[in-house]
A and B are shown apart, each in its own frame.
Chain A
């Protein structure tokens, strides 16, 4: 039976990984780690919300841009809730005025 090509590829990767070997830690590894731990304790990282600041800023800018774009398109087309409302009011007024006309 022909071997599964995927299986033979994985087998090959296993062999390569086995032969790759493991690097030795440097002589001062423990001291290096402990130094870094102490350094981080003395100089703690900024609070988590600081990392969100660029994200919030980007969101605010993009929202403002979208709003400006929508407003521009709305003005261009003469649309918008206030315009539509005014149109309805005008229509109603017109209707009422016509209704109010005395019959000739």
Chain B
């Protein structure tokens, strides 16, 4: 598709019955979507979650009003798909297995070459203790530095809910750090 054609024009084309035009939207935004998803889920799950994101976007294309940019709208769908991914993992009891996969990634990038890093171990334990929603709030607010309002908007929950979760996450992290300090 011609670069001068806007995302909104392609959306209109798809909605007018040319479903194949959606492929050009995938080409334009796949790297951005992969980037957004990679921050939330283990590397080996990124492609599947990205696929689900684009399928959801296609199905709800009629609800895109154009009040925000298409990529912002798509990013919201990507974040919510990641949220659903973790909810499914917790429900199916697979969260620990996924967390394990995540641990391997963290270990690979945080390896100091001097054996197990106690800080990395603490991070793993902390992530394991969070629920699906807490995990998402932690990522969006503390790692990506979104505001309370932005986090609430991305996850589709109330600002009060985000504030409560953020407060609880900090408390959990503090307790964990203290527990680790007390260990011989």
Contact = CB atoms under 8 A, between A and B. Distances in A.
Interface of B: 19-20, 22-23, 26-27, 30-31, 34-35, 38-39, 43, 46-47, 50-51, 54-55, 58, 105-106, 109-110, 119-120, 122-123, 126, 142-143, 170, 173-174, 177
26 contacts: A6-B174, A9-B173, A12-B110, A12-B119, A13-B123, A13-B142, A16-B109, A16-B120, A19-B109, A20-B106, A22-B31, A22-B35, A22-B46, A23-B46, A24-B34, A25-B34, A25-B50, A26-B47, A29-B26, A29-B50, A29-B51, A32-B51, A33-B54, A34-B23, A34-B26, A37-B54
Contacts of B177: 5-6, 9
A17 B143 contact: yes
Contact of B30 (A19, A30, A37): A30
B119 A37 contact: no
Nearest to A4: B174
A76 to B, nearest CB: 40
A33 B30 CA distance: 11
A43 B117 CA distance: 49
Please report whether the interface of chain A is mostly helix, strand, loop or mixed according to DSSP: helix
Contacts of A31: 23
A1 interface: no
A5 B110 CA distance: 18
Contacts, number: 85
Given A23-B34, A23-B38, A9 B143 contact: no
Contacts of B20: 34
B145 to A, nearest CB: 9
Residues of B contacting A: mostly = helix
Contact of B105 (A20, A38, A40): A20
B163 to A, nearest CB: 16
B174 to A, nearest CB: 6
Nearest to A6: B173
Contacts of A25: 30-31, 34, 47, 50
A7 to B, nearest CB: 9
A9 B122 contact: yes
Interface in A42-91: none
